[in-house]
Amino acid sequence: MAPVDIMDRFKMLYSKQTYNDPPMLSINTAAVLSILVTLGYVVPFYISKTTRPSPSLSRDAPSVIRSRVRAVTMACVASTVFVLVLIALKGNDTPLPEALRLLGWWPIGIVEIIKSLLLTAILFGGPFFERGVVEDGWKSWIRGQGLSETLRSWIGFRNYVAGPITEEIIFRSVIITLHLLAKMSPGRIVFVSPLYFGIAHIHHFYEFRLTHPDTPIPAILFRSIFQFAYTTVFGWFAAFLYLRTGSLPAVILVHSFCNWCGLPRLWGRVEADVSVGLPQMRAKEDSEISPLQVAGTLIPVEFFSSPARFAKFSYERQSSDVRLAIFIGLSRY
């Protein structure tokens, strides 16, 4: 029997209504609620001193990470309960188990998880071959070398556990469900719902400016625009997977997997010593990196200090792979 995806579940929910019945929510209401849910995820970062970064306190500090994880966990619980109540009230007394199915919590969908991970791995086929076969790194992957150490660190826990779980609950399970209740088409949902996900990362502009005051504004602005772009593109992919599989665990694991891999390297030839994963960063390492290094991650500092010098800046000096790895490493949740 073919798996029942999330669209089929919502069709069954709507089958209790007559054809001419209006949607449970208007599109405008779904948009407003999605904005409120997004704000509920981000705003708590700046309410308390324990979650708010400062020039002397990095967002990578363990105390900040712990406080933020608690805040977003409460936001996820509150948002999920709100949508469950909404489905129960507007869905002709939909039972709780069915409501959880509509939110993608159940069933787990082992087959869907495997298919989603295999599909995602195709994006990283080249880098995986390079690191695993050319550099003989497959042995360390099998042994799980470095995995336990990474997950035991607060930064690793944030990037690969707490971040993917809470973000997928909010931006896939909750926000996509709100738009499905408004009877928005799946195609529009795939392209519209990730915008909330991308916008939720814009606050990193303020955080980075706060902790790196000497970095040129254009560099920080470009960093934020780039971050918005790639988080939105990932959101399109995650929304597509979620609508096709109806499995929240599947998109959570895909999110964690992509966080580990970083952006797929789509250029260059196969060579040794090009890392697939993210650079390991200590809690205070953010403040130890020179602002000039940060500004030059993707655009050399010469561009902001002297356009004429930038015109003469040689391609060989850019070390694009290393710059991109640092850039993505500093752009995390």
Active site (catalytic) residues? 167, 201
User: Residue 257 in contact with residue 320, Cβ under 8 Å?
Assistant: no
- Cα separations in angstroms, 140 against 131, 132, 145, 289: 11, 9, 5, 28
Amino acid at 97: P
Q: Is 172 helix (H, G, I), strand (E, B) or coil?
A: helix
Q: What single-letter DSSP state applies at residue 59?
A: T
3-state SS assignment for residue 294 = helix
> Which residue bears the tokens 């891999």?
261
Q: How far apart are CA 169 and CA 73, in angstroms?
A: 10
Using an 8 Å Cβ cutoff, are 99 and 84 in contact?
yes
Contacts of 250 (CB under 8 A, 6+ apart): 109, 112, 113, 116, 117, 241, 242
Residue with tokens 């390492």: 285
Closest listed residue to residue 59, CA positions, set 167, 202, 161, 155: 155
**DSSP E strands: which ranges in 195-301?**
none
